[in-house]
Amino acid sequence: MKVLVSDNISPKGIAILKKAKLTVDVKTGLSTDELKKAIHTYEALIVRSATKVTRDIIDAAENLKVIGRAGSGLDNIDKTAATKRGIVVMNTPGGNTITTAEHTMALLFSMARQVPQASASMKEGKWEKKRFMGVELYNKTLGIIGLGNIGAHVARMAHGIGMHIITYDPFLNEEKARTLGVKIVELGELIKTSDFITIHAPLTKDTMGMINAERISKMKPGVRLINSARGGIIDEKALHDAIQSGKVAAAALDVFEKEPPEGSPLLGLDRMVCTPHLGAASTEAQENVAIAIAEQIVDYLVHGTIRNAVNFPSVSADILPTLQPYINLAERLGSFLAQIFEGGINEIVVEYKGEVAGLMLEPITAAVLKNILAPILESTVNFINAPLIAKERNIKVKEITSDDAGDYHSMLVVKIRANKKENSVSGVLHGKKYPRIIMVNNFAVEVVPEGEMLVVLNNDKPGVIGNIGTVLGKNNINIARMQFGRAKPGGKAISIVSTDTSVSEKILSAIKKLPNLLDVKQIHLPE
């Protein structure tokens, strides 16, 4: 079997592949057309961040069985297209944790003391002590956006230099925060009270442009920002303007909206520290991820074992066809619930009713956990490590089985609990294949869980649905489906509106202002 390595990885990884008698071609720097032309002869593709594995590439990959990412981030791989083709997508979660956290701290120190600027000045023959006055980190407040593995390690190191740590992480519970010695706050409070802000979140539709002009305006004068996560989370134009005005004293970026950031005005600012996406660029980290992905590719191609896959569980080939429809349903229920639930999570309950209760439940539960945790941990959570991540975050996971599924052959019920709050969603398979949501909390519905949806909680009064339709129609948003449910006439009701396209924040804000609307959330599920 043939493996194409299209980005540079450590020779130690190549050696493992060859030792397993796999044919290995290392072809780096391929253009999109070159890769598209070559990919059909390979069973495996190994990439880092440079190669973009698009839908067109996957469609041309006639024999491809597995895509391996030597690293954690997966935004350069079309996972949906790969899954539809039955191609396993693997990554190496945790391999970059230490090195990325350490690079963040290097940026933090460099920015606070203007080390790169002072070094450049001295190399020009200057001695400018007054120009490069720094600030201390001791006793300052560090705001960490996203307290996954990398963010948590940054917190541990920052504690060591005497910083006060606060964090915004929608999925972190109080017990886990206490073990790390951090305080959980809302994003608005973190923005307003931090002296330094560092980002460790994935790039999603919710985090894109999260640090924008409006949020920067609410920050402390002289705040300093770091991003070693993903480009696009910080609005670079807004950051440029804020540094020029003095609102932001300095910034340190390892990632950019466009890489390389040719022509970016940020590069010309004295108060900018920039590195070319070096977060994972240490000898140890690159060896770790190269060895890990090579071993995973060998395990799959030679032994048929799936490890650290983000789109398939680790089960034998004969069991997977029976489980796959339920895994698909579980993923959609978990993702739906994660997007309507707010706050830290204390407990996740998965109830199996009817025939499904007699199947192998571990991969189905893992699918639920993966998709509940994915919005904040997208690049590191998969079928294999999802239960461990839940445990590390002190989230209790409970499975309940029952023979009784009512009028259905099988039913899954997923619940998220936090303190006294609980949200739940129930789903079934139509024709033992097609997923449907039949209950959201105590509201009976029948929803096709795919694409863009608005989940609306409202008072059961005349005109609510018409008003929503009017706003969407005026903004050229086509409604694909609408489903309604209510507990009792005149009480609270739920409306789930599927749209052909996503709804902008401006339109969403207009809908939220309509009469009798209690809550509106926009969610996205795979097609």
Q: What is the set of active-site residues?
A: 230, 259, 277
Query: Cβ distance 226 to 154 under 8 Å?
Result: no
How far is it, in rounded angstroms, from Cα 300 to Cα 489? 55
Length in residues, the chain: 527
Separation of CA 450 from chain center: 18
Q: Is 505 exposed, middle or buried (0-12, 13-18, 19+ CB in 10 A)?
A: exposed
In the three-class reduction of DSSP (H, G, I as helix; E, B as strand; rest coil), residue 406 is classed as coil
Radius of gyration of the chain (CA): 24
Phi, psi of 480 (to 5 degrees): -85, -45
b/e sequence 178-203, b meaning 16+ C-beta within 10 Å? eebebebbeeeebbeebbbbbbbbbb
Query: Cβ distance 82 to 67 under 8 Å?
Result: yes
- Residue recorded with tokens 């705001």: 143
Separation of CA 510 from chain center: 28
How far is it, in rounded angstroms, from Cα 356 to Cα 353? 6
Q: Give the other-Cβ count within 10 Å of 524's Cβ.
A: 16
How far is it, in rounded angstroms, from Cα 156 to Cα 150? 10
Q: What angle do CA 360, 366, 372 make, to 5 degrees?
A: 145
What SS3 string covers 6-18?
CCCCCHHHHHHHH
Query: Cβ distance 76 to 52 under 8 Å?
Result: yes
DSSP H or E stretch at residue 145: strand 141-145
- CA-nearest of 357, 359, 355 to 319 is 359
- CA-nearest of 415, 381, 420, 379 to 398 is 415
How far is it, in rounded angstroms, from Cα 350 to Cα 353? 10
DSSP H or E stretch at residue 399: strand 396-402
Q: What is the DSSP letter of 220?
A: P
